[in-house]
Amino acid sequence: MSKIQSSIQRAIEKSRGSTRREESTPSRIFRNFQLAHPRENTMANSRIISAIDDRLAKSAYDVLRTRVLHRLRSNSWSSLLITSPGPGEGKTLTSSNLAISISRDVNQSILLVDLDLRRSSVAKCLGIQHDIKAGVGDFLQGNAKIEDIIYSPDEIARLAVLPNREPIDNASDLLGSPRMKKLVSWLREQSGHSIVIFDMPPVLACDDVLAFSPDVDAILLVAAQGMTERGSLEKAAELLVDCNLLGIVLNKATELMGHDYYG
Ligand X SMILES: Nc1ncnc2c1ncn2[C@@H]1O[C@H](COP(=O)(O)OP(=O)(O)OP(=O)(O)O)[C@@H](O)[C@H]1O
What is the contact surface with Mg ion in residues (CB under 5 A)?
Answer: 91-92, 121
We find the least distance from the C-beta atom of residue 161 to Mg ion, in angstroms, to be: 14
The option from ligand X, Mg ion, none interacting with 252 (CB < 5 to 8 A, set by class) reads ligand X
Q: Which of 153, 202, 209, 218 binds ligand X (CB under 6 A)?
A: 202
Distance, in Å, from the CA atom of 178 to the CA atom of 184, rounded to the nearest integer, reads: 10
Distance, in Å, from the CA atom of 263 to the CA atom of 174, rounded to the nearest integer, reads: 33
Q: Which of 20, 47, 182, 188 binds ligand X (CB under 6 A)?
A: 47
We find the least distance from the C-beta atom of residue 158 to ligand X, in angstroms, to be: 22
Q: Which is nearer to ligand X, 13 or 229 (CB)?
A: 229
Q: Is 65 in the site for ligand X (CB under 6 A)?
A: no
Q: Which is nearer to Mg ion, 119 or 182 (CB)?
A: 119
Q: Can you list the pairs that 68-76 forms with residues at least 24 positions away whose Cβ atoms lie under 8 Å? A: 68/98, 68/102, 68/220, 68/246, 69/102, 69/105, 69/108, 69/195, 71/218, 71/246, 72/195, 72/217, 72/218, 75/217, 75/218, 75/244
- Identify residues 80-139 at the interface with ligand X (CB under 6 A): 84, 87-93, 116, 119, 121
Closest CA to 243 of 222, 212, 200: 212
CB 109 within 8 A of CB 159: yes
We find the least distance from the C-beta atom of residue 91 to Mg ion, in angstroms, to be: 5
Q: Which is nearer to ligand X, 47 or 182 (CB)?
A: 47
Q: Is 252 in the site for ligand X (CB under 6 A)?
A: yes
Q: Which is nearer to ligand X, 111 or 200 (CB)?
A: 200
CB proximity list for 46: less than 8 A, separation 6 or greater: 93, 96, 124, 125, 126, 127
Q: Which is nearer to Mg ion, 91 or 104 (CB)?
A: 91
The option from ligand X, Mg ion, none interacting with 87 (CB < 5 to 8 A, set by class) reads ligand X
- Identify residues 135-174 at the interface with ligand X (CB under 6 A): none
The option from ligand X, Mg ion, none interacting with 79 (CB < 5 to 8 A, set by class) reads none
CB 163 within 8 A of CB 132: yes
Distance, in Å, from the CA atom of 117 to the CA atom of 173, rounded to the nearest integer, reads: 11
We find the least distance from the C-beta atom of residue 239 to Mg ion, in angstroms, to be: 18
Q: Is 213 in the site for ligand X (CB under 6 A)?
A: no
CB proximity list for 248: less than 8 A, separation 6 or greater: 220, 221, 222, 223, 233, 237, 262, 263
We find the least distance from the C-beta atom of residue 45 to ligand X, in angstroms, to be: 8
Q: Which is nearer to ligand X, 84 or 103 (CB)?
A: 84
CB 101 within 8 A of CB 65: yes
Q: What helix, strand, coil percent values describe the chain, rounded to 5? A: 40, 15, 40
Q: Which residues bind ligand X (CB under 6 A)?
A: 46-47, 84, 87-93, 116, 119, 121, 202, 251-252
